[in-house]
Amino acid sequence: MTEFLLSPFTDFAFMRRALAGCLALALGATPVGVFLLLRRMSLMGDAMSHAILPGAALGYLAFGLSLGAMTIGGIVAGIVVVLAAGLVTRASVLKEDASLAAFYLLSLAAGVMIVSLRGRNLDLLHVLFGSVLALDDGSLLLIASIASVTLFCLAILFRPLVMECFDPAFLRGISRWSPVAHYGFLMLVVLNLVSGFHALGTLMAVGIMILPAAAARLWARGLPALLLLAVLFAFGSGVAGLLLSFHADVPAGPAIVLVCGLVYFVSLLAAPGGLLAGRLPVRRHLES
Amino acid sequence: MHPAPPPFIRIENLTLGYDRHPAVHHLSGDIPAGALVAVIGPNGAGKSTLLKGLAGELRPIGGRIVMPGLPPGALAYLPQRGEIDHSFPVSVFDVVAMGLWREVGAFGGLSRTQRQRVRDALAAVGMSGFEARPIGSLSGGQLQRARFARLMLQDAPLILLDEPFAAIDSRTVDDLVQLILGWHREGRTVLTVVHDLEQVRRHFPTCLLLSREPVAFGPTAQVLTPDMLARARRLSEAFDDDAPECHIELPPTAVSPTDEHAHHHNHASHRH
Provide the ipTM. Answer: 0.81
Chain A: nearest CA to B136, how far in angstroms?
11
- Strands B7-18 and B21-32 turn out to be antiparallel
Q: Which of A159, A165, A221 sits opposite B85 (nearest CB)?
A: A165
Vertex A208 angle, CA A213 and A218, to 5°: 20
Could you say which DSSP state residue B6 is in?
P
Could you tell me whether strands B158-161 and B75-78 are parallel, antiparallel, or unpaired per DSSP bridges? parallel
Tens digit of each residue's pLDDT (9 = 90 or more) over A162-220: 999 999 989 988 888 999 999 999 999 999 988 887 777 766 788 889 999 999 999 99
Q: Which residues of chain B neighbour A162 with C-beta distances below 8 Å? A: 88, 90
Greater model confidence, A17 or A236 = A236
Number of C-beta neighbours around residue B40 at 10 A: 29
Q: Do A156 and B106 touch (CB under 8 A)?
A: yes
Angle separating helix axes A177-199 and A42-63, nearest 10 degrees: 60
> Considering only CA atoms, which of B260, B224, B207, B206 is closest in space to residue B26?
B260
CA distance A189 to A210: 12
Check pLDDT > 60 for residue A21.
yes
Lowest-confidence segment of A241-245, A257-261, B75-79, B251-255 by average pLDDT: B251-255
Q: What is the mean pLDDT of residues B82-91?
A: 88
Size of interface A-B (CB pairs under 8 A): 61
Q: What's the start-to-end Cα distance of chain A, in Å? A: 49
Q: Say yes or no for a CB contact (<8 Å) between A221 and B89.
A: yes
Q: Cα–Cα distance between A163 and B29 in angstroms, integer? A: 35
Is B210 within 8 Å of B50 (Cβ atoms)? yes
A245-258: average pLDDT:
90
Q: What CA–CA distance (Å, rounded) separates B147 from A158? A: 21
What pLDDT score was predicted for residue A138?
Answer: 82
Distance CA A207, CA A130 (A): 13
**Do the strands B7-18 and B189-193 form a parallel or antiparallel pair, or are they unpaired?**
unpaired
Q: Above 70 in pLDDT, residue A91?
A: yes
Tell if the CB–CB gap between A160 and B106 is shorter than 8 Å.
Answer: yes
Rounded to whole angstroms, how far apart are CA atoms B32 and A250? 75
Average confidence (pLDDT) over A223-232: 95
Instruction: Please write the tens of the pLDDT for every residue from B107-164.
Output: 888 999 999 999 999 999 999 999 999 998 998 889 999 999 999 999 999 999 999 9
Least CB–CB distance from A175: residue in B57, B73, B107: B73
Task: Identify the closest residue of chain B to A221 by CA–CA distance.
Answer: B89
B122 Cβ contact list (under 8 Å, min separation 6): B92, B93, B96, B128, B130, B131, B146, B149
State the best of B85, B135, B150 to mutate against chain A, taking most chain A CBs within 10 Å: B85
Instruction: Tell me the DSSP string of A139-154.
Output: HHHHHHHHHHHHHHHH
The distance of A8 to chain B (nearest Cα, Å) reads 39
Q: Do B107 and A156 touch (CB under 8 A)?
A: yes
Question: What distance in Å separates the CA atoms of residue A190 and residue A187, rounded to the nearest whole number?
Answer: 5
Q: Which residue has the higher pLDDT, A29 or A116?
A: A29
Partners of A40 in the β-ladder: none
Q: Which of A179, A271, A237, A177 is nearest to A29 (CA)?
A: A237
Question: Dmax of chain A from CA atoms?
Answer: 71
Q: Which span out of A12-16, A156-160, A273-277, B226-230 was modeled with the highest average pLDDT?
A: A156-160
CATH number for domain B1-74+158-167+189-272, candidates 3.40.50.300, 3.40.1480.10, 3.40.50.150, 3.30.200.190: 3.40.50.300
pLDDT tier at B257 (50, 70, 90 boundaries)?
Answer: very low
What is the pLDDT, as a whole number, of residue A125?
54
Q: How far is A64 from chain B (nearest CA, A)?
A: 43
Give the DSSP letter string of B160-200: EESSTTTT--HHHHHHHHHHHHHHHHTT-EEEEE---HHHH
